[in-house]
Amino acid sequence: MPRKYFGTDGIRGRVGSHPVTAEFMLKLGWAAGRVLGNHGDRVVIGKDTRISGYMFESALEAGLSAAGVDVRLLGPMPTPAIAYLTRTLHACAGIVISASHNAYADNGIKFFSSEGTKLPDDVEQAIEAEIDREMITVESDMLGKAERVDDAAGRYIEFCKSTIPASLSLKGLKIVVDCANGATYHVAPSVFDELGAEVIAIGVEPDGLNINRSCGSTQPELLQKIVLEHKADLGIALDGDGDRVIMVDHEGDLVDGDELLFIIARSRQLEGTLHGGVVGTLMSNLGLEHALQSNNIAFSRANVGDRYVLELLQQSNSLIGGESSGHIICLDRTTTGDGIVSALQVLSAMVKSGKSLHDLKGGMKKYPQRMINVPVSHKVELDSEPAVQDAVKSAEQRLAGRGRVLLRPSGTEPLVRVMVEGEDAKQVDDEADQLANVVASAV
């Protein structure tokens, strides 16, 4: 069934525009409490550093209390930390207030089940059905209680450190960590510092408005500059809610999610702990597929979105998957994408192999790839646009089996993503430009 409010990654939009309003969040908290909890159950709520997070935290808290569900407030915490704490605090659900890599004027809500995984579609549909009903508050002696969890950051820091061998030290490594002025600002530097690295932290001064602004995984130019200036061994760029990571090697070159996924999978294979294959997405670089195949590692593609990567991982009995954007899932370590944990797996591979990040990524040759985001004002059905379909067929014929074309509406932003990849960089650029122009004219 089509969903009214939930998209591919929860509920997201511009603050003040329905459904991202205080009024709606009050009702959403109540509806979620009715569906997910009972009297005496608890729900944990965490958020990133957007100024609107305080408003939505209060609204959700009030709605949950009205439904008779207790609340544990985590404050600013990374999305994967909320998944972890939902499990360890034995909560019936976790709620994340975040718009991930978007600018501060956006916000959104994501839910985790009691196991720290995304909610199934039928549960989201049940919450939507409850939202449309009249809100009824439980009797006063049944109201939910709220309290803050004071040691949330410390608990999560210790968990992150536990995902690599206790004997492994990062001593001797100089690392620049960019926290995007987001939810990891008070935990990520401590994780790497406590493991022995020399840490240079940037993007750790959130003011409610500067999240993801000229920093973080979506804008890594500052990180590249500082890595070179400080002659660091590498840089780590997280996004606003901490579930994505990209890295920078000592030469200042970007190492994206596809390359990180290859490094982690290859390291697991060498130590004999890689079970099953690797799951990427329709956007994963063809070079990743070829590099894994050359090392006898199975590769499969899911639809774009971490929930679909997770579904295919479970279906194929595999443990490692992710997206080129840096959203990497290591099911042998945790239940969801985690930027800090993923970075630690790469650092572990470096220390164990004695190789630099630059050398490790050399095992995979990326194909030239170009993606153009075409803004749209409404939902677009690309399959019903003859001009677009004709342009795609023509591009595929010119690539002659030596590349790929993919057109995909974004699940989180009003965009159509036009992607072309192939062996020849100039041809890739030309084909992408032509296709983007056709799509822009059609929509």
Domain locations in the chain as residue ranges: 11-150, 171-254, 256-338, 369-442
pLDDT for 307 equals 86
The residue among 364, 218, 224, 217 whose CA lies nearest residue 285 is 364
369-442 is classed in which CATH architecture? 2-Layer Sandwich (3.30)
- Confidence label for 354 from pLDDT (cuts 50, 70 and 90): very high
Give the contacts of 208 (CB within 8 A, at least 6 positions apart): 49, 50, 51, 104
The predicted pLDDT at position 378 comes to: 75
- In this predicted structure, what is the pLDDT of residue 412? 67
User: What pLDDT is recorded for position 376?
Assistant: 85
Mean pLDDT of the chain: 95
- Percent of the chain whose pLDDT exceeds 70: 99
Average pLDDT over every residue of 132-154? 97
Cα(235)–Cα(223) distance, integer angstroms: 7
Which is catalytic among the residues 100, 190, 325, 348? 100
Fold designation for 171-254: Alpha-D-Glucose-1,6-Bisphosphate; Chain A, domain 3 (3.40.120)
Q: Which of 280, 282, 438, 302 is nearest to 372 (CA)?
A: 438
Burial class (CB in 10 A: 0-12, 13-18, 19+), 133: exposed
**How far apart are the C-alpha atoms of 225 and 43, rounded to whole Å?**
41
Please tell me the pTM assigned to this model: 0.91
Residue 2 pLDDT greater than 80, yes or no:
no
pLDDT at residue 280, as a whole number? 98
Higher pLDDT, 380 or 11: 11
Please report the pLDDT score of residue 238 as a whole number: 98
Question: If you average pLDDT over residues 412-421, what whole number do you get?
Answer: 87
Thinking of the domain 256-338, which architecture would CATH place it in?
Answer: 3-Layer(aba) Sandwich (3.40)
Reported as a pLDDT band with limits 50, 70 and 90, residue 296 is very high
The pLDDT of 48-74, averaged and rounded, is: 98
Q: How far apart are CA 108 and CA 10, in angstroms?
A: 7
Which pLDDT score is estimated for 377?
A: 79
Active site (annotated) includes residue 100: yes
pLDDT at 1: 61
Mean pLDDT of 236-257: 98
Q: Does residue 233 surpass a pLDDT of 80?
A: yes
From CA 79, how far away is CA 342, in angstroms rounded? Answer: 14
- pLDDT at residue 362, rounded to an integer: 95
Q: Residue 304 has what pLDDT? A: 86
Identical fold between 256-338 and 369-442: no
- Residue 57 binned pLDDT confidence (cut-offs 50, 70, 90): very high
pLDDT of residue 110: 96
Higher pLDDT, 41 or 3: 41
Average the pLDDT over each of 104-113, 160-169, 285-294, 374-383 and give the range with the smallest value.
374-383
Question: In CATH, what is the architecture of 11-150?
Answer: 3-Layer(aba) Sandwich (3.40)
Report d(CA 170, CA 58) in Å as an integer: 40
